[in-house]
Structure 1
């Protein structure tokens, strides 16, 4: 580590002598400052903060004792070494009192100077390392401390019980006994803030917003803000000075707005001695209040008792629309549902979560039904929020319509691939069983498809009816067998699926334009 030293003496030759005698570079000192008296030295010490200070005692303007007093009052960590030509008790007593590292008498011996310098540097380095470790420990504690209090207060919100150990820690940390006093809890949903002001970085949002809130709450020790570890969506404001709750929350909202230009929704519950009851009250308000309301700090007055619209109640109608493959039909159904939601229900966080959860359930069921082999991702955190953090009905409607549009496309594609794959399997079946007496009814029963659909789709994909395609396969096989002159015509007929030689010959002539015998003779003539 590079260090600095300062030599303070009113005699220039003393300063020069110390500079020459000291093994400065050996001890890592690369800068040596000089001052003629304590007054000049103070200015240099303030500017450069040297680790090692050599000072005379008798100097004009400000002497060594006055300088030692100043150094002691500043609590500088520098190592001060007194260099004096006077073996004076008063000087030595002051040097000890003001924590001087050592006292060297003039004339200075090089060995004595460098030994003291070495010890001073070693002690400074040891203490610097200790301070560094303490800083690290302090940083770790500062990082862990909020997590500890998050856990303590979150548990209190869930259990309502306040163990004696937790009560004592809270009293020691916050100077407040929570056991028998009324408290209010306010909840701030973090998702809109994280999405709009923190690029979806929820950890950063929690850290920043809790610091903003705690700075205001700690001024008069009126409460504490913490992260609810049992619900990742909530920032919790616990207020034990409940009379000031509305004003405090107004100040917190204003501070958040000044920082990120977002006005958060805050759900303020009823007062209760029990933290569990205080939390339940605010959580109920947060989940059920109307997001279309213009109020930012909402209370029980803004909560109306209404049931939820359940997508599962409309699953059959939606399924029929999806099976039709018509995007327009499905989106028309979704529009009617959204209109119904707007007319008779409340756009609350509870309603939104219910819609999203049930949509995912229906989607997974339909995907299984269509035998789509894919891992359906967990539903994304939808962005239903305006730039100021308020709820956007238009964005909600748009995203719900888009969810169903994507689902229609996915299922339509799966249906097409499934149907196409079934027709391919039918074609493969014909090739492997051409020797058998195959009927359209048998194929229909085997592949669970209607005869009409198979006929229409097969003709569309292969430009031939099932019967013509099967005949074509049989004729190709027959021609291969006719190349073998040792095989009888009736044997070939039987081999390709015909029990009657005359019927086989008739079909062969219709398909190829000549009889099986003529075809065989034409092959022989060519060879």
Structure 2
């Protein structure tokens, strides 16, 4: 039976593009539904059992966040994946409280989309297996327990009474006797989501078969397993159990022992911090918070060196850049300090180098932006060394890109040839950046940057302006109908032509034509034939 998948986006080419990427990778696996906004999506969800919904955030009529919030009213709720632009990243975080499974940044990377759908399929199958074993009431109770724990983990500043109440609703009680938390994740970043799902099953198996009173497993928002035990030795036994078979490479961060229920969230954060040190260690096993909590903090990051690296991009000083990077990411020094030192360095590299470059060059560096999305979040790299090489590679790419832009700041001859080509072919509906850049034998990204510097606008804006100019000439001096003019100047359809024309001129094409009483079309009277 096919999975049902709803794609919600106000841009048709994005809806079609997502479908094409999925059909190539998973032929005949999904039954697709489409909606242009949240209101249309709700109608589809109300009359169809949708398994997965991929939705944009910013849409007219009803946006994605509002749509997700209303899903709670539905009997059958789909697994939700959010699609957002780079600038919407903070806004997308709001969706976490609505149990969104994942988010993807635009432009959507095919591999990331495939991995997300593979992980969702594992989760849906697991959910279906659980539904086969448990009653609907038990499932509802389990989901409720998980949501109560999630609330405690995600909310700082709760009173002791509120924490105790939430824990009791989750089935956890009598923590005064003492407890500690273990946070478990799969090692490999590629396939980690799938590995975490398998880990959950294996941990549940361990607790069910060898469990003792007062032991629980919950899931945090990243899909990692949070295990509560009353005896620390049980976590070692759990690691031994997980070490059987292909899960021998899991990692566990362990909190301090505590006898205070109200410190439950603090214990989770301790386990999470311990788990993050695997970024530096890059090995399976266990790290206890007690092992790393006394590491000194370093307040002074190598800010000046980071700024220098950014200033050198686009020059012939590659070796100096690499030397400075070694100094910035000095591994022995990073090992000596609290992990927050590494986190602050990563944040500074993003802000002082990468964000600055993308602010200057914007969408022209979109291919490089995809690489930044892998490096910009520190823990998206499986290890320090992987992160280091990723930063080094990204700096090389940016250096070459900026140098290429600077080396031929304005190539007059090629730009004139490009404009002439556009002027001859503006009526072609398939006229695009790749076609024009190929005509003048320029790199795609480089041509985009030079064209914008040369004309003061992007290629899309230039073509649109040219087509409107030609359209106005035809409206003034021809008897062609509006839809004929639309096709003649290269617009996909009259509706799009009307929309673009109104945005530019403030009036419709027909209103533009009728602004005077005549079309200024010369009347040609045919001469009488001379029969003499």
* TM-score in terms of structure 1 length: 0.43
* TM-score in terms of structure 2 length: 0.43
